[in-house]
Structure 1
Amino acid sequence: MLGKEMIDGCKDKISNAAQIGGIETSTLDNGLGRGVRIAWINTGTGLRYKVVIDRGMDISDTFYNGYSLAWLSHAGTIAADRFSDTGMGWIRNFGGGLLTTCGLSHVGGPEEDEYGDRGLHGRMSNTPAEVVSILQPDPSAGKMEMSITGIIRESQVFGPALELKRTISGRLGHPEINVRDEVINRGNQKVPHMLLYHINFGWPLIDEGSLLLWKGKWHSPTPDSDRKIFKEGGDFKTCKAPMAAHSGTGEDVAFIDIEEHHGIATCGVYNEKLDLALAVIFSKKQLPWLVNWQHWGKNEYVTALEPATNPPIGQKKAREEGSLIFLEPGEVRNYALTIKIMDTDKIEQFINSFK
């Protein structure tokens, strides 16, 4: 792994910035992902990840020093289905990955009301992006920043016209991913808006005994059963071994009113065996909720930490309880999210902050 100090000392010693890191675009040519545009981003620190341009610029495979951080479904990277936004169609096309974006107008299960029909988790992750810029690092000029920016449109004639401008950026020598999103209502009517960042962690980062790090008041909407993880007095922050009860649709979830410090909320994961900790950092004002999904199925072993504007309750319930966000024509909402590998000498302090 190259540290920041070593990368800062590369001046006059390299011919091509790709020797250290940067952004490489390509197109997959096989299987369910054939024809899908991607961008590999290498931070030069051991952190390397794949942006799936044709899936809303979500993030799929992610590695740190050879260890996988993300959970990938059986399908893996798969082509977008622009008309998967009915019923449970979204789940057939869910490749997992480090980040899957839910929204922009609906987060939650399938539903129907006088305002229309909505499928699971909306259209965002099944919409290709229009890439508008790629900025490569230039260490010889002292420029370590790199970024890729794209526009994703969720629109229809006579209907809502939401647009998301997404920038994923980093800096050589820094093991972190920065996601900056700008959502704008391009239409001429007030429209609903919901957004959830489905951040999915898998083995080996997530293993029996790995710790989930978050603080806040929580509740779980799922009924008691042998699948239940979130119980008062229970240890739901230590990752379980694979559970037979979580085969098939077995799962549990908690909706968390996450604590913040000076407006910033932080959650994360720690694997003692790997001496590896990861933080997810975001604005509580922008994203007031955190969702923790746990699905300890055999050969389908995953947990997710999901910053969100709303829990995944859907437009209908959010409208009824008065928590649904509406964007006026031309109105803009900004969101910022950072996924960061913690320095080894700061891991203990990081973990203790959640006690």
Structure 2
Amino acid sequence: MASQSWYTKISNPAQVGGIETSVLDNGAGRGTRIAWINTGTGLRYKLVLDRAMDIADAFYNQHSLAWLSHSGITSPQPFTERGLDWLRTFNGGLLTTCGLSHVGGPEQDAYGERGLHGQISNIPATIESISQPDPARGKLDMHITGRMMETRVFGPSLELTRTISSTLGQPVIRIHDEVVNRANTPAPHMVLYHFNFGWPLVDEGTKLLWQGPWQAREGGINGEIFREGYDFRTCPAPLDSHTGTGEAVAFIDATPDPNGQCCAGLYNPTLGIAVAMRFQKAELPWLTNWQHWGKGEYVTGIEPSTHPPIGQAKAREQQTLIFLEPGEKRTYTVELEVLFQPEQIDQLLNRLAQADTPPIA
């Protein structure tokens, strides 16, 4: 789309791309609002407006980028404050947002009970605006903005305003979030962007790209993969040890460039495409790599966050838990770009080239 000659050859911008909203009418997601965003480059993706505007399906040309769980899209459920109920409606998808006040496993302490990964992904959005591209006026950008409230009487009351945007002719997804404490008392805050990548982008030989010292999560079979001397940055064939709940997780202290930007992603040399993820260290200092190589559940997560998924109680104990004062806000921006030109991919690989960094002491 470098040439603008096509501007005079279309009547309706939807011929090239744009945003289309609709409502699912079948299955567990019946009645759930969605929006398809088409960038006109082969990159198209589906927002689930009733699930925090998270991203479900995502494709580049014929290739799926995201992992989708058995459940598919379900309607939002209010039961996520306890135990592992969050998993019942975990669609996977390209993005599931975790938080806004707890990221990690189920827990209970003097401050309350919290279920796996918090409530925000089960909260519908109030859509505030949709802006379509209009090539005839030279407008190629498009965006959709919505607002979600994670709230209860007497607090905490955290408001998430999310804008998802793209540009015609660019295979890029931009996510810009603003979290505000609307209560009159301080509120604990944690957020994690649970990006879930699947086949065929993720396949045997796909390279996982990130930079920084790492630490295997305690417990489980994490040491099977995340150990010195093992190539945990190359995706393996499905593993019998990952049947059921088998998984491996590493917490990464992401390394920024001189401008404070961190970069991560994946590269599939067979398909000749890569996905680059960019975010600011000052906003999201941690990165989690989740590897679950189960048969029929073959997925890896690359997840920038304010904290590792250790839970509110542990973060409070470590004195790293964020507290937002009444009216205080924090902003977060994450960008995903599909790379298909060899020189772009080489730049990404060179940016993240490194000898194996040792585990965090």
Question: What TM-score bracket applies, with the shorter chain setting the length?
Answer: over 0.9
Match of residue 261 from structure 2: 264
Match of residue 228 from structure 1: 224
Out of 80, 84, 105, which is 1:84 matched to?
A: 80
Q: 1:340 Cα shift?
A: 0.5
Match of residue 249 from structure 1: 245
Q: 1:222 Cα shift?
A: 3.3
Match of residue 304 from structure 1: 301
CA spacing shift, 1:48–1:226, aligned 2, 3 Å: closer
Does residue 199 of structure 2 align to residue 200 of structure 1?
no
TM-score, normalization by structure 2: 0.96
Out of 317, 328, 331, which is 2:314 matched to?
A: 317
Q: 1:84 Cα shift?
A: 2.2
Match of residue 353 from structure 1: 351
Query: CA deviation digits over 1:157-210, x for unaligned, max 9?
Result: 112110000000010000000000000000000010000000000000000000
Q: 1:226 Cα shift?
A: 8.5
Q: Are 2:221 and 2:247, in contact at CA under 8 Å, matched by a contact in 1? A: no
Q: 1:352 Cα shift?
A: 2.1
Secondary structure of the 2:86 match is helix
Q: 1:223 Cα shift?
A: 3.6
Runs of 5+ consecutive residues of structure 2 not aligned to the other structure: 354-361
AA aligned to 2:87 is I
* Distance in 2 of aligned mates of 1:231 and 1:79: 39
Q: 1:66 Cα shift?
A: 1.2
CA spacing shift, 1:34–1:102, aligned 2, 3 Å: same
Q: 1:146 Cα shift?
A: 0.2
Q: 1:322 Cα shift?
A: 0.7
Does residue 56 of structure 2 align to residue 60 of structure 1?
yes
Q: 1:349 Cα shift?
A: 2.1
CA spacing shift, 1:174–1:297, aligned 2, 3 Å: same
* Distance in 2 of aligned mates of 1:182 and 1:158: 22
AA aligned to 2:163 is T
AA aligned to 1:339 is L
Secondary structure of the 2:9 match is coil
Does residue 101 of structure 2 align to residue 105 of structure 1?
yes
Match of residue 144 from structure 1: 140
Supply the RMSD in Å over aligned alpha carbons.
1.1
* Distance in 1 of aligned mates of 2:51 and 2:36: 14
For residues 18-97 of structure 1, what are the structure 2 equivalents within 5 Å? 18-97=14-93
For residues 331-350 of structure 1, what are the structure 2 equivalents within 5 Å? 331-344=328-341, 345-350=343-348
Q: Are 1:227 and 1:245, in contact at CA under 8 Å, matched by a contact in 2? A: no
Match of residue 157 from structure 2: 161
Match of residue 16 from structure 1: 12
Does residue 280 of structure 2 align to residue 283 of structure 1?
yes
User: Which of 238-247 and 214-223 deviates more?
Assistant: 214-223
Secondary structure of the 1:238 match is coil
Query: CA deviation digits over 1:246-269, x for unaligned, max 9?
Result: 000000000000111020000000
| Count of equivalent residues | 351
Secondary structure of the 1:317 match is helix
Secondary structure of the 1:128 match is coil
Q: Are 1:227 and 1:246, in contact at CA under 8 Å, matched by a contact in 2? A: no
Match of residue 289 from structure 2: 292
Q: Are 2:83 and 2:115, in contact at CA under 8 Å, matched by a contact in 1? A: yes
Secondary structure of the 1:266 match is strand
Secondary structure of the 1:18 match is helix
* Distance in 2 of aligned mates of 1:285 and 1:9: 41
Match of residue 167 from structure 2: 171
* Distance in 1 of aligned mates of 2:8 and 2:219: 62
User: Which of 228-237 and 33-42 deviates more?
Assistant: 228-237
Runs of 5+ consecutive residues of structure 1 not aligned to the other structure: none
AA aligned to 2:212 is G
* Distance in 2 of aligned mates of 1:230 and 1:30: 41
AA aligned to 1:304 is G
TM-score, normalization by structure 1: 0.97
AA aligned to 2:299 is V
Query: CA deviation digits over 1:200-242, x for unaligned, max 9?
Result: 0000000000000011000012347497210111100000100
AA aligned to 2:238 is P
